[in-house]
Amino acid sequence: MGLKVAKFGGSSVADAIQINKIKDIVEGDDAIKYVVVSAPGKRFKDDSKVTDLLYLCKTHIEHKIPYEQIFQVISDRYIAVEANLGVDVDAKGELQEIRRNIEAGASVDYIASRGEYLNAKIIAAALGFDFVDAKEIIKFSDKGKFLEDITNDSIKRVLAEHETAVIPGFYGERLDGSIKTFSRGGSDITGALIARAVGADVYENWTDVSGFLMADPRIVDNPKPIEEISYKELRELSYMGASVLHEDAVYPARIENIPINIRNTNSPQDPGTMIVDRPHANINNVVSGIAGSKDFTVINMFKSSMATERGFIRRVAGIMEDHDIAIEHIPTGVDTISVVIDNEMLAGQLDDIIEEFKNQLKPDSIEVTDDIAMIATVGAGMCTRTGTAAKLFTALAEANINIRMIDQGSSEMNIIVGVDNTKFEDAIRAIYNAFVE
Ligand code: ASP
C-alpha cells in the first residue's frame, strides 16, 4: 500500500470548500497518513493570504497603528471555516489566546505561524486525524539554525505515536521554546522533512496547478505538462520552479530518494509531475523544460592575456562578494569574461562595481548591457544527443533573435542563452517549437 505524506498549500486550504476537496483526496487514499497544511491562502485573485495579514498585524503594531480590523478579518475566516466544516476546535478561544499573546508582545515568527497552527487544528478535526504541533518536531538552535538531525529524530519519535496526523507547516521551535518560521513558502519544507523521517514512498505536494509545464503558459499556448523530471533538472529550471515548490524542500526528499509528486487539489485526477532522482521514462526527451527570466545585467570585460593572469576570476568574484551580490553566470572566453547578475540584486551598486573592476582588474575595455533575459533549456537527455545546441541556435536564428550570451552548465543538462529582454517571449516560443512541437 505504501506510505504517503501529503502537503496542501494555501489555496488548497483557503476555505471550507477547498478543505472538503482535500478531505475527499485524503479519504480516497489510505496511504496518506500524515498531512501538512499551510495557512489559508487566496480564495480568489485579489484575496489576501492569512500569513500576509498576520505579518500586516505585526507591522501595524510596530508602527503603533490599530491592527484590530485586520485581526478581525483573520478571525472571521477561521470561524467561518470551522462552522462550515461542522467541527469544533474552539477557534474563538484559540484566536483570543493569540490576541492576548500579540498584546503581550509576541514575536513576528510566533504571529506568522498562527496561520498554519489554527488551520491544522481545524483540518485535523475535519479529517479525524490527530493534531501534532510542529513545535514538537521541527527544531532550531537558539540562534535560529535549523537542526537537521534533532528534527529527524523528533519527527520519528513523535509520529510513531500517531497513526495519522495533521501537522502545521512553516514553523518549528528553537531549543529555548520560542517559535521560529522557515522562509516564506516553507510549509513545503516541513512536508519534505516529515516525508524523509517517516520514510514515505511518495511526498505529495498539492497546489493549484497540475505540476510543472514545459514552458510558461503565459508565453506558450498549452505547453505540455512535465510528467517526470529529476531533482537536478528541476534545479536548473529554478527560474520556473520557485513559485510551485520551495527550493529547500528538495534536499530532505532527495537524500532518502523520495519522489515528490506535484498535484492539483482542484483537478485531483491529473497525475501531476513526479520529481525523481533520475528521470526514467523521459530520458528520451532531449528537453524537459524551458524557463527564463528577464532583467539581467551583463558586464563584459576584455583584457589581452587575461587567460594567463593569475587570480583574475577570484578578484572578480571577490568584488561581487564585497557588494553581497550573487553571480548568476560567469561565461569566459580566452581573454574575456562576462559577469551576469540579476538586476534586482544589483540595486544601485553598478557604478561602484564598474569603478572597482576598472581600478583593480585594469581591463582593456568594459561594456555593460542591462536589459538581458536569460533562458535555460534543460534536459537530462541532452548529454547523449548530438546536435542539441545546433538545433537551439538554428531555432533562434530562424526567429531572427540575436544571442547575446551562451553558457552551458558542466552537467551538460542545460544550455543557457541571454537575449534582449524584448526578444524573451519570442525566444522561448522558438525553442519550445523546435524541441517540443
Ligand atoms: N503560509 C506561509 C506563507 O505564506 C508558508 C506556506 O504557505 O508555505 O509563506
* CA-based nearest residue to 190, from 85, 268, 274, 119: 119
Output the pLDDT for position 1. 62
* Cβ proximity of 367 and 320 under 8 Å: no
Instruction: State whether residue 384 is helix, strand or coil.
Output: helix
Q: Which residues contact 222 (CB under 8 A, 6 or more apart)?
A: none
Residue 272 confidence class, pLDDT cut points 50, 70, 90:
very high
DSSP codes of every residue in 104-166: TT--HHHHHHHHHHHHHHHHHHHHTPEE--GGGT-EE-TT--B-HHHHHHHHHHHHTT-SSEE
Give pLDDT, residue 284.
62
Phi and psi, residue 421, nearest 5°: -45, -40
Exposed, middle or buried, 428 (CB in 10 Å: 0-12/13-18/19+)?
Answer: buried
Ligand 1 atom closest to Cα of 246? 8
Note the pLDDT tens digit of each residue in 18-58.
999 999 999 999 999 999 999 999 999 999 999 999 999 99
On whether the CB atoms of residues 219 and 293 are closer than 8 A, the answer is no
Cβ < 6 A, ligand 1 pocket = 10, 38-39, 49, 51, 115, 169-170, 184-188
**Taking residues 273-299, what's their average pLDDT?**
82
The DSSP annotation for 266-311 comes to: T-TTS--EEEESS-SGGGG-S-SEEEEEEEEEEEEEE-TTGGGSTT
pLDDT confidence tier of residue 241, bands split at 50, 70 and 90 = low
pLDDT at 413 over 90: no
Place of cell 481545524: 122
Q: Whose CA is nearest to atom 8 of ligand 1?
A: 185
Task: Tell me the per-residue pLDDT of 49-80, one tens digit each, with 9 for 90 and over.
Answer: 999 999 999 999 999 999 999 999 999 999 99
Terminal Cα distance for the chain, rounded: 38
pLDDT tens, position by position, 82-135: 999 999 999 999 999 999 999 999 999 999 999 999 999 999 999 999 999 999
Answer for the pair 36, 8: CB distance below 8 angstroms, yes or no.
Answer: yes
Residue 421: which of 378, 369, 376, 366 has the closest Cα? 369
Residues in the chain: 437
DSSP 3-state of 269:
coil
Helices 16-27, 108-127: crossing angle, 10 deg rounding: 60
Q: Read off the pLDDT band of 315 (50, 70, 90).
A: very high
Kind plus residue range of the DSSP H or E element containing 84:
helix 68-85
Distance 186 CA to ligand 1 centre (A): 6
Residue whose C-alpha is closest to residue 408's, from 377, 369, 380 = 377
Structure confidence at residue 385 (pLDDT): 79
CA of 58 to the centre of ligand 1 (A): 16
Q: What are phi and psi of 273, to 5 degrees?
A: -105, 135
Atom 6 in ligand 1: residue holding the nearest Cα: 185
Report pLDDT for 286. Answer: 83
pLDDT band, residue 327 (cuts 50/70/90)? very high
**Mutational pocket test of ligand 1: of 36, 42, 116, 182, the residue with most ligand atoms within 8 Å of the beta carbon:** 116
pLDDT at residue 240, as a whole number: 61
Q: Are 119 and 37 contacting, i.e. CB atoms less than 8 angstroms apart?
A: yes
pTM of the model: 0.86
Which residue is it, cell 486525524?
129
